[in-house]
Amino acid sequence: MITVPVPLADGRGYDVVVGGDARRQLAGLVADRLPGARRAAVVTQPALADAPWFADVDPGLPFDVHVVPDGEDGKSMATVEGLCRAFAGGGLARTDVVVAVGGGLVTDLAGFAAAVYHRGTAYVNVATSLLAQVDAAVGGKTGANLAEGKNLVGAFWQPSGVLCDTATLATLPPREWACGRGEMAKYAFLGPGEPDASLLALPVDDQVARCVAVKADVVVDDEREGGRRMILNYGHTLAHALEAASGYDLRHGEAVAVGLVYAALLARRMGRIDDDRVTLHRRVVAGFDLAAALPAGADPATLLSYMARDKKARHDLTFVLDGPDGVQPVTGVDPELALATLVDMAVDTAAGS
């Protein structure tokens, strides 16, 4: 097992434990971090609740299992309300614990429900997808979608601990691996050294731990996204727009890969980086075996409208972009430049089809 600390202030720090069968450490984690808890609510998805390994998920307390829908349509305020009502019906107290078992959708939803139930109930993430393990389950950003965009409602609510069970990754289909690798490609630009795809040469436990360590460093420095933490959204502004403008067959990480290349093209158009740096972005994304083209039929104007109301916007068009000092948040981006870059990508997609 590999343990990566997230040393937050005021005694709110926690550990991320990475390794095969990490789920078996759940009862010990709950007993150690939440000794006053008397009951647990386990939140998961249908396929996971039926998986053979799910029987090992034991918080060491009496618990109920609550199943949330698959797919982004289920990541809604209605689902959050349903969870909170189920918690109340099961007698969950503020001193008890919510346990999220699954991928990023589950950790986002369960974490948000925990944040608002009794104005703050502890939760633990048992991350079972690559995307959740390298990114979504760590850092305390929780949320749900609105029709107007992804993750437009949510809360910063840190977990009491995170278990990244790499044994469960063996059951992931290829596109779920691709989804996680999109976030890993992002971390290639945020960690130390020249960006590349060398992360993939490591054992999977080390891949996850390295990404978690990069994220933990950023989160500890800027927990509530007042500045530096925004770099964790690299590639996400277009990615969220692609996901919100339904109809594209893209997983989250696949959309992030497209967003990384878009961000590089936009940065070049703004004079922040040169052609060689754009080529590096394309090479890194390809090294993670991900595509960088805008989906066929994507409408640039529609995507721009979604990006303008992305949760990172501050009454202007805000992006995370590469530049002379590395990846940074950039406010006040000219919408015409953003649109022109999307148009160029759409033309390239059409030319390649």
Catalytic site positions: 119, 141, 183, 215, 225, 229, 233, 236, 240, 252
Radius of gyration of the CA atoms of the chain, in A = 20
Going by C-alpha positions, the residue among 315, 128, 238, 339 that lies closest to residue 347 is: 339
| Cα distance between residue 73 and residue 140, in whole Å | 22
| Cα distance between residue 320 and residue 262, in whole Å | 11
| Cα distance between residue 298 and residue 190, in whole Å | 28
The widest CA-to-CA distance across the chain, in whole angstroms, is 61
The encoded tokens of residue 66 equal 């609550």
| Cα distance between residue 262 and residue 266, in whole Å | 6
Looking at the DSSP bridge assignments, the partners of residue 123 are: 98
